[in-house]
Amino acid sequence: AASVIVATGATARRMNIPGAQDAKAGGYWSRGVSACAVCDGALPIFRNQPVAVVGGGDAAMEEALLLTKYASKVIVIVRRNASALRASHIMRQRAFASPKIEFLFSHMVVEARGDGRLLQSILVRALNEH
């Protein structure tokens, strides 16, 4: 995904990964990494681009559904497996029904990568679940 929205719930929490920090620290926060789809989803850097949403709760589903208005596709990255999704039943149904939303279960984002100016991609890693 060329951009990522981190849906961490009611209080924004930043991902503690390389590349997600502020621009002063060499990261892509506010330059492709965001915590608010409502605030940033309509910005040109997100329009008609694949966008990733990190999280598995209602906030992530709401953000993903909102982003379908702007993004070419939305990939929801969830650390847990599908059966452990925390989102409410109705929010899961809405997200699963959207043709623009894809899910990547049992994965986590490990790095945000860019060209020095804007985020270009994210690196994800599969998690082993026992």
Number of other residues whose CB lies within 10 A of the CB of residue 4: 27
Instruction: Give me the CATH number covering residue 84.
Output: 3.50.50.60
Give me the residue label for tokens 């589903």.
61
Is 74 within 8 Å of 102 (Cβ atoms)?
Answer: yes
**Using 50, 70 and 90 to split pLDDT, how confident is the model at 15?**
confident
Say if pTM beats, i.e. exceeds, 0.85: yes
Span 113-125, average pLDDT: 95
Q: Which residues are catalytic?
A: 36, 39-40
Residue type at position 84:
A
Number of domains in the chain: 1
What residues are paired with 109 via a beta bridge? 124
Span 23-42, average pLDDT: 91
Condensed to tens digits (0 to 9), the pLDDT of residues 77-109 reads 999 999 999 999 999 999 999 999 999 999 999
Supply the range of the domain harboring residue 68: 3-126
- Write down the number of H helices and E strands in the chain: 3, 7
Backbone angles phi, psi at 107, to 5 degrees: -135, 160
